[in-house]
A and B are shown apart, each in its own frame.
Chain A
Amino acid sequence: MPDAYRRTLTRQMSQHAHSEIVGMLPEGNWIGRAPSLRRKAILLAKVQDEAGHGLYLYSAAETLGTSREEMIEALHSGKAKYSTIFNYPTVTWADIGAIGWLVDGAAIMNQVPLQRTSYGPYARAMVRVCKEESFHQRQGYEIMMHLCSGTHEQKRMAQDAFNRWWWPSLMMFGPPDENSPNTAQSMRWRIKRETNDELRQKFVDITVPQAEAIGLTIPDPALAWNEAKGGYDFGEIDWEEFYAVVRGEGPVAKERMKARRDAWEQNAWVREAADAYAAKRAEKRRAA
């Protein structure tokens, strides 16, 4: 396996894994406040799935020779990146709907082609991830649907969440093709199968009618159907904002990193204790 291929793969897979793990936090923020028993169970199961998906991906990345510990260290030191979308806050319950619908929708679009990616363990992990995530987007849309058919306050909450998550969701597909340093090489290696702009266009074309169906207004005055290309034209993405968030300047980037470091460092004693117990037991077996 060429070194550059291995490096690129490890980078992409660990970034993907980190995104799943950090991605537990914005939604985890609402498990305790989910408004019904059904919603609570659904959200808990969804966030748990994200932990599982992070694990599948770490596990696949580890087959390339980088330990999970090294990957986590890279995340905590700020060296490794994760999806910038999780550096935005979840301020109302409608954000849980918007994340499931838009963020998971965009993620699925990114991930479906990866089921055919050239590296077997990654592709197999992605098959599992895509299968399990199929309910995530639907539950999000269902939340939005219910809010949109509710009271004035509920509709306001839904539109506000939609306004806040729309542009960051479009940014999830990464920088425009002419400005994406890794896309060309990754396409050649068949790690990536479709370009950022192709996927973004697809997402807009699918999502706009879904929004309109429940009475949400797309927060983009430039949005218009383009008969010639058979898709929507949409406004300019604020790439300054994108790069600022990539640099770690997202509104809750500090909170996200602190939560991950705290979980890892403040519970180090648990991992040490279990290791110590295993060592003691092994010692006893040797002595016996």
Chain B
Amino acid sequence: MAVELNLLTVLPGFPGGGPRVAWWRGGAQRRAWLLASLAPSTAFQAVPSPANAGEDKLMPSLPPIRPEDEVLAKERRGAGTFDAPAAEGPDPSLFEYALRLGDDSLILGQRLSEWTGHAPSVEVDLSLANMALDLIGQATHFLNYAGEVEGKARDGDALAFHRDVLDFRNCMLVEQPNGDFAQTMARQFLFSTWQKMLFQHLTGSTDTFIASVAAKAVKEVTYHQELAQEWVIRLGDGTDESRRRMQDGLEWNWRFVPELFEMDELAIEAASRGVAPDLTAFRGDYELAVRSVIEEAALDLPQSQRPILGGRRGHHSEHLGHLLCTMQFLPAPIRMRHGSLGPEARRGGASLVGACKRSGS
């Protein structure tokens, strides 16, 4: 992207003192990943780093990068991402990681389904609904799995309908409003291009469930990517009006792209376990793919924008709350009856799930 990921200045208390420093010291590999994710893009022009972004100033407690670390980092980027030995012991990050996957698909599926009955033609209605159905299917798999991993009797429905904004883990791109058809296609193109590459990598996950869902979903997402790409090209290179709208759509969504490649602690942990890929491994491919479509569409590469981050830690845009108001409309009164603020409701115990099901189905 034409932006530089600058996590260190964005994320509060990162890295903090205390035990976290020790954690960081413990993994040269992790550090290499983080640095790789921060490296300015080569495919797009990068903005100059702020003067204080030097690693030494921000991470004074860490030793300087050794040449062998750099070699390791470079090798990793080229050599694939699933060669890391599986770490031992239970994986506290798996629940959160499955939520990220599930919430991305759920929120985008919800957004796309808003088009139903209102698309530019009946055929396009069918296309958009097909994509939404694929995404809701993926969400169901990932969220049910997250519930299973968590082991607190929450299933996919409990997670979808009984969490509040702060507990959603989707990236902010997918919660962006549909806008016009161009803005919807811009969002779809930017997301599906990423999701396709992610799922391709996830087919080799050490987590066999995630790998198997990814293997199924990568076919769906490949189709989404192609469809969105075709529309970006047609609208970009169509009429003056469609070009303006397409450009506006890209500009709107652009600031949320860096979040897709953010290697925060959890992503690093998941990568170190071989559950998830190192996102930086395909960032270059992503940028090339996006840029080539933007060129073919005769659109301008958007100017660099400051990355907006936070979705992965529950700090979302204003739009998500409204989306949840709609999506959780029915289960919500049930939640109120059971006392939404009580510990039982927050835990989302079996009685709550049952109540939701009774009201729903």
Contacts and interface: CB of A to CB of B under 8 A. Distances in A.
Asked if the two chains touch in their complex, CB atoms less than 8 Å apart, one says: yes
B140 interface: yes
Contact of A55 (B123, B136, B239): B123
A35 interface: yes
Interface in B232-249: 233-235, 237-239, 241-242, 245
Contact of A36 (B161, B181, B238): B161
Nearest to B159: A37
Given A40-B136, A51-B126, A58-B122, A28 B117 contact: yes
A44 B123 contact: no
Interface stretch (B127-135, B285-293, B313-321): B127-135
A24 B235 contact: no
B139 A32 contact: no
Interface of B: 106, 110, 113-114, 116-126, 129-130, 132-133, 136-137, 139-140, 143, 156-157, 160-161, 181-182, 233-235, 237-239, 241-242, 245, 326-327, 329-331, 356-361
30 contacts: A24-B125, A32-B110, A32-B327, A33-B329, A35-B161, A37-B136, A37-B143, A38-B140, A38-B157, A40-B113, A41-B133, A41-B136, A44-B129, A51-B117, A51-B126, A93-B330, A146-B361, A150-B358, A150-B359, A154-B358, A259-B117, A262-B118, A263-B119, A268-B120, A270-B181, A271-B121, A272-B239, A273-B242, A274-B234, A277-B234
B238 A154 contact: no
Interface string A132-170: 000000000011001000110010000000000000000
Interface in A34-51: 34-41, 44-45, 47-48, 51
Contacts of B110: 32
Given A35-B330, A37-B157, A48 B126 contact: yes
Contacts of A275: 238
A175 interface: no
A145 to B, nearest CB: 9
Contact of B361 (A36, A268, A274): A36
Nearest to A93: B330
Contact of B122 (A28, A38, A54, A270): A54
B14 to A, nearest CB: 34
A154 B132 CA distance: 28
Contacts of A41: 133, 136-137, 140
A276 B238 contact: yes
Given A45-B133, A271-B120, A274-B238, A55 B361 contact: no
B244 to A, nearest CB: 10
Given A52-B126, A262-B118, A270-B181, A36 B360 contact: yes
A55 B129 CA distance: 14
Contacts of A93: 330, 359-360
Nearest to A151: B358
A40 B233 CA distance: 31
Given A31-B116, A276-B239, A44 B360 contact: no
Nearest to B181: A270
Nearest to A26: B117
A32 B106 CA distance: 11
A55 B126 contact: yes
Nearest to B243: A273
A21 interface: yes
B268 to A, nearest CB: 30
